[in-house]
Amino acid sequence: MDVLTTIWADLAGQFLDPRKRLFIGYLLASLVIALVWMCLLQRYSPRAALRTFFARDIWASRSSRQDVICFILNRVLFRTLAPVLVTQLAIATLIFHLLHKQDILALGVLESAGYWIAAGTFTIFFFLLDDFSRFALHLALHRIPWLWAFHKFHHSAETLTPLTVTRTHPVEGLLFTMRSSLVQGISIALFVFLFGNQVDLLTVFGVNIFLFAFNALGSNLRHSHVAIRYPAFLERVLMSPAQHQLHHSEATRHYDRNFGVALSVWDRLFGSFHHSVAESMTFGIGHETGRFTRSVWSMYWSPFRDIWSRCRRRLQGGSVSGARLLSSRRDREA
């Protein structure tokens, strides 16, 4: 019973904790933004907008039902693994000691800067490093073949709802958990070393003010069928929901585009930027979708099976000479 209570509390916390993307406040904000967008700019009546937003073929689709199952299974799994994962405190302590041993910067060199400078720069630095690291890992998940084998789990969604954000293979989830711990550890260690005890995060309800703004302004619409586009100049800085939906497109011309989360500047720097488009799109992983999603078990097991079978063929000399072990999304056929 204690285990079940813990799991239930964790599941409920995903919707009740402002630090989580699926916080009920962010979901309601996304609903309001979507309805305003459809009513004012697309000329829907309020009733038609609601009916379109809650379309049964989206929310009750097989793909959306799989999202729900994956959400529950992944939360149970990560509650089990949480005690053995490396924490940001351990990483921060290690980095702090490494900084203490170097001879370039002195401990507390910026301690006299004042609280607001320390807190402001820490908040900005943490947000930028966090956003860039998400971009970098997402890019690797597409470009490195064996990582793409696991990331297909997320891209196999044929309909997008806010819960699709949790549709990730546990291996990918572990990578993002380690990324988060590393980012927090680096940020905390560096700024405590430079500013001492003045380091603080500027927050709203305990959430980084930039992350709070990102979530409150419709982050959950990134995984939805409401294609909200920003003006072209703004999309060059901020990633619009429609730009991320394009990232999920099955069209080969959209492959490996728009890896960013909050900011699109990283995509511009690395040549993967694409403005949103006013066209209907289908989602999934092309001809692989049916095989990959034939069951939830298949979704979890297929990446391991595919990697193993290709490794075995490679060892047995059965693969084409010079062929890659696996295809990244950029290299596979539509």
pLDDT at 86: 67
pLDDT at 112: 87
pLDDT at 95: 86
Token duo for residue 100:
């203490």
One digit per residue, the tens of pLDDT, for the chain of length 334 reads 677 888 889 999 999 999 999 999 999 999 999 999 999 999 999 999 999 999 999 999 999 999 999 999 999 998 887 766 767 778 888 888 888 777 677 788 898 888 999 999 999 999 999 999 999 999 999 999 999 999 999 999 999 999 999 999 999 999 999 999 999 999 999 999 999 888 899 999 889 999 999 999 999 999 999 999 999 999 999 999 999 999 999 999 999 999 999 999 999 999 999 999 999 999 999 999 999 999 999 999 999 998 998 888 888 875 443 334 466 776 654 4
Residue 65's nearest CA partner among 155, 150, 154, 157 is 157
pLDDT at 330: 64
pTM over 0.85: yes
In angstroms, the CA 153 to CA 292 distance is 8
Backbone angles phi, psi at 263, to 5 degrees: -105, 140
Backbone angles phi, psi at 307, to 5 degrees: -65, -45
**Do 245 and 54 touch, CB atoms closer than 8 A?**
no
